[in-house]
Amino acid sequence: MLRSLRARLTISFLLVAVASVGVIGVLFKNVAALQFYVYLERSPSRIVDLLFPRPYLDVRALVGIAEEQYLAALRQSLLQASVGVALLAGLVGFFLAHRLSKPLNELTRAATEFAASRPGQLAAIAPAPRKGEGEVEKLSRAFHAMALSLDQHEQQRRQFLADVAHELRTPLTIIQGRLEAILDGVIEPTPEEVAALHSQALLMGRLVHDLEMLALAQAKALTLHMEEVDPVTLASEALQAHVILAEREQLDLKLDVPDDVPTVHADPDRLKQVLSNLITNAIRHSHAQGTVTLRVEAAPRREGTRADIAYGVNDGSDLDELGVAFSVIDHGVGIPVEALPTVFEPFSRVDPSRTRKSGGSGLGLAIVRYLVEAHGGAVWVMSREGIGTRITAWLPAQAKTV
């Protein structure tokens, strides 16, 4: 019983009330009564004798029946008032303790039920957030936000596992079906057939590699080999590597460098992968006879605050910090407004019905995000449906790995 917060707070109020009454009683006995006796003596010269009494002085001899009755009535009134104050303090203490302990008990109950609940249903168990700026209200809101975040992460985890299973199932099904057909003699194991099976195996290998890199990037466990990199040279090499793919899709590739660009301290291989993912993504979503532009320019981090969706921008860093922005611009299908918040999430596709062949695995932009943030940079996207998309990867001019 005494272990509960409500009981301890109530008893604390009672103890304070009892202590206050005791102090008042002591003051009444040693000060008020003495002052009353002084008043009865009616002699200022006797105050010293009363404060420092001598053996021959008996002050009570000065007190009559009326005075004794007055003192008794005063003591009785003080006792009654003390009892009333103690009762009132107990009631007030119980009320305040109940109001304080009720939300804490609700949080305790919810936290206990969390352990026995299925992930994804925590927000329904958590008590409703309370309004106000007190410590308990803030704790209630933080607890509710934590439950929502856990549910969201659980939902993302389930979706991630489902997406991984789906992406792996397709090539595995193809390989299994073709091998069974070969074993049954339906299909001849020709070099072309073996090459088709090999391409599916490579597809699985790339997916597993992307998943491994994404996991390392999310855990901030990527090894970066930093060195001074010329952004223009690296961008030119990245574009050149995609010329054949662009020609197959009847697209032109363009490098745009408006001004002098400072060097960046980065891992050239990781940075090439960032640009490769961005260029490949732009080619996939561009219309034939169009142009994909890679723009390289000096720009402050602040530019990302004006983007539709930005990551790694408002993290407390100096928004005027100078760096290099790699922007890949296409004039393709664009991204719907409702899809913008998830474009950098794993397995995100603007059109979920698109196949891996036409729409990719949905890991490319997620890898871009984490690789750029690993360099201390930022990534953002600006897009209008039916007009085109501009995705920018910004890196600081100085080394700032995280």
- Of 89 and 315, more confident: 89
CATH number for the domain including 268?
3.30.565.10
187, 260: one domain: no
Distance between CA 321 and CA 119 in Å, rounded?
A: 41
209, 234: one domain: no
- Of 70 and 244, more confident: 244
Mean pLDDT is lowest, of 7-11, 234-238, 264-268, 331-335, for 7-11
Please give the mean pLDDT across all residues of the chain.
76
Question: By residue range, what is the domain housing residue 208?
Answer: 135-218
Mean pLDDT is lowest, of 72-86, 316-330, 332-346, for 72-86
Q: Is 146 exposed, middle or buried (0-12, 13-18, 19+ CB in 10 A)?
A: middle
- pLDDT (tens digit per residue) in 189-214: 888 888 888 888 887 888 888 888 88
> E-assigned strands of 196-307?
227-229, 252-256, 264-266, 291-300
pLDDT > 70? residue 352: no
Q: Which residue has the tokens 């995000």?
A: 369
Predicted confidence at residue 357, as pLDDT, reads 47
Tell me the pTM: 0.61
Where a domain ends, among 218, 245, 277?
218
Distance between CA 19 and CA 245 in Å, rounded?
A: 87
Q: Which amino acid would we find at residue 162? A: A
Q: Is 123 part of any domain?
A: no
Q: Which of 317, 319, 323 is nearest to 393 (CA)?
A: 323
Predicted confidence at residue 254, as pLDDT, reads 93
Q: Is 58 part of any domain?
A: yes
- Long-range contacts of the stretch 386-389 (C-beta < 8 A, 24+): 386/333, 386/334, 387/331, 387/334, 388/329, 388/330, 388/331, 388/332, 388/334, 389/282, 389/285, 389/329, 389/330, 389/332, 389/334, 389/335
- Of 98 and 4, more confident: 98
212, 236: one domain: no
Q: Which amino acid would we find at residue 4? A: S
Q: Is 129 part of any domain?
A: no
